[in-house]
Structure 1
Amino acid sequence: MKAISYSRYGGPEVLEYGEVGEPKVGPDAVLVKVRAAAVNPVDWKCREGYLDGMLEAVFPVVPGWDVCGVVVQPGVSVTEYAVGDEVIGYVREDFLSRGTFAEYVAAPVRTLARKPRNLTWEQAAGLPLAGLTAYQVLTRALGVKRGETVLVHAAAGGVGSIAVQLARHFGARVIGTASEANHDFVRQLGGEPVAYGEGLVDRVRGLAPEGVDAAFDTVGGAALQASVALLGSEGRLASIADPDVLTYGGRYYWVRPDAEDLDRLSGLAEQGVVDVNVAAAFPLERAAEAHRLSEGGHTRGKVVVTVGWEEGESA
């Protein structure tokens, strides 16, 4: 099958498009014919070797953890899905090797949910990792409640944009940091935008003089420091970007595959609660360009790669 892979750590130039072996389908997995796969910051961080101390790489590595596609073969003990079912998944293993930037992926059923019927393939591919991150941080790490004020950093990004929508759905007021160019987008999501940079703490305090009840850091560094300064007396703090959050009594969160959570997100998408903005889509063979765009860190929503099927071809 055709796939993107890399045989050594490095920049986008190490990504190669070519033939790799088709995955084997375990008893509790299904073979998914991929329609789209999303790029996440963790993908290029893994490719650069930044996570080598945490995740072993079995080269060649096919990158990607997000997927949207069609089931073409259920494992022998799978009853949840049948051939032709449209699914989404956060297909992460505890090592790097068998990713989703490929024509096919073998996905354990514990990583999957049904594709939201109202989302395109590209939108649906961008939901699993970003959506699960936002959902799990807001519900498990921060415990956001109705009537609270939540600060979300990078509110126009992949995780941040979904976090804004979910927090609003939970009944919270959301203040979101974003560049001036993305302020209208953040407002459309239901958030109150504030600009990055010097004076951020004062700008947020102008909207929330008593501080915020919860802060969701997706950036780290200065954003984490600002979050600490803006917490109210009983404020809670979580970060997905900076382990230094632990020194302030906050939670450092690494998203977990969870079929029930993903199914809830799929349902919320079908209800119109959660939408996924696709900043750009590239064909699979141009995955290096998708990685470069993601690394730039200024995209509105998600970057995805698409896997073309021949016209008239069925799953």
Structure 2
Amino acid sequence: MLIDRHGGPEVIRLGQVATPAPAAGEVLIRVACAGVNPADWKCREGYLSAFMQATFPFVLGFDASGVVAAVGAGVTGFVRGQRVFAQTGVGAGQWGSYAEYVAVGQDCVVPIPDNVGFAEAAAVPTPALAAWTGLFDDGALRPGQTVLVHGGAGAVGTFAVQLARAAGATVAATCSAARRDALMALGCDLAIDYRASDIGAAVRAWAPAGVDLVLDAVGCGTLPMGLDLLRPGGTLVAILTLASGDHGPDPAEAARRGVRTAIAFSKMPSGARLAEIAALLHSGRLRPPRIECLPLEQAAQALELVRSGQAASKLVLQVC
């Protein structure tokens, strides 16, 4: 599925291109499934142009699962036919996973655990890595701390709740009433219905001194009292939506209050972190979110469902 320019769903088309050949250090993956992420439609519309330069025609898709089709010079540890999943190089302007084949740097490719299917694996890399970065790299989460995940029922939030629990933290999350039981089943200690409850009052009743970490996976000003929920020295980490006006928390205001803020941003190749996530998937301590599979040809519709917030599950495209 190609785009020839930035724009809305009308710019996506089905097309034929040459099968990529893996360069030195790359793994060529025959794609089974491609994860659908908010970053994909933002890439389609040009929101990521400040970070990447797309050469048209361009193939979208940050996340892939499939089997190794070939390896480039210098690649070790991967064999033809091996089941793998990866975060592609779309963020660096390379072609992505909405295609039968994608070439990915070996540092971003990881074997799929035996207990995980292709569709589940494709749903993991970008949201799980975003959650990991926010919690541990930027949030410096430690065992015994308290965390509020704002947007706990989304893909990033689902992984964040589980990763925080696996790290020994106590976790609260905001969600709709319909998703409360599902979040509690993942180990959430407190699920707050953001429509019916005062989030600030609920958090203060649960953690009177304030929480150690707030991970805001929603943005757009939907948690205006976020800094108020932190204990002295606590941290608010925002995962930016890139929507107009969504600049994240104010660092100056945070400093005045004796807390700090951070913008979640991966600072290393994804493979090392993805391997740790794969180990948690294999052990059963981490589960992918609910998944709905659509055929590759419905990529435009899938992106619109994600963009509009109407997707009830994590969407995955069936490729091969």
Q: Structure 1-normalised TM-score?
A: 0.92
CA 1:163/1:301 → structure 2, altered by over 3 Å: closer, same or farther? farther
Residue 291 (structure 2) pairs with residue 279 (structure 1): yes
Does the 8 Å CA contact 2:175/2:194 hold for their aligned counterparts?
yes
Residue 119 (structure 2) pairs with residue 122 (structure 1): yes
Which is further off, 36-45 or 195-204?
Answer: 195-204
Which is further off, 236-245 or 7-16?
Answer: 236-245
Aligned to 1:59: 56
Does the 8 Å CA contact 1:23/1:105 hold for their aligned counterparts?
yes
Aligned to 1:312: none
Q: How many residues align?
A: 305
Aligned to 1:102: 99
Q: 1:110, CA displacement in angstroms? A: 0.8
Aligned to 1:254: 265
Aligned to 1:195: 193
Q: 1:51, CA displacement in angstroms? A: 2.0
Where does 1:197-216 land on structure 2 (aligned, <5 Å)? 197=195, 199-216=198-215
Residue 308 (structure 2) pairs with residue 296 (structure 1): yes
Q: Deviation above 6 Å: which 4+ runs of structure 1?
A: none
Q: 1:224, CA displacement in angstroms? A: 4.4
Does the 8 Å CA contact 1:151/1:176 hold for their aligned counterparts?
yes
Match among 154, 157, 162 for residue 154 of structure 2: 157
* Alpha-carbon displacement from aligned partner over 1:276-297 (angstroms, at most 9, x marks no partner): 0233111111111211121122
* Alpha-carbon displacement from aligned partner over 1:135-155 (angstroms, at most 9, x marks no partner): 222111111122211000111
Counterpart CA distance in 2 for 1:153 and 1:165 is 14
Q: 1:244, CA displacement in angstroms? A: 2.8
CA 1:215/1:301 → structure 2, altered by over 3 Å: closer, same or farther? farther
Match among 245, 248, 259 for residue 249 of structure 2: 245
More strand by share: 1
What is the SS of the residue equivalent to 1:99?
coil
Which is further off, 272-281 or 90-99?
Answer: 90-99
Residue 282 (structure 2) pairs with residue 270 (structure 1): yes
Q: Taking every aligned residue pair, what percent have the same amino acid on both sides?
A: 36
Counterpart CA distance in 1 for 2:316 and 2:280 is 21
RMSD: 1.7
Counterpart CA distance in 1 for 2:134 and 2:201 is 25
* Alpha-carbon displacement from aligned partner over 1:101-149 (angstroms, at most 9, x marks no partner): 1000011101111112111111111111111111222111111122211
Aligned to 2:174: 177
Letter in 2 for 1:264: E
Unaligned runs of 5+ in 2: 241-245, 255-259
Letter in 2 for 1:90: Q
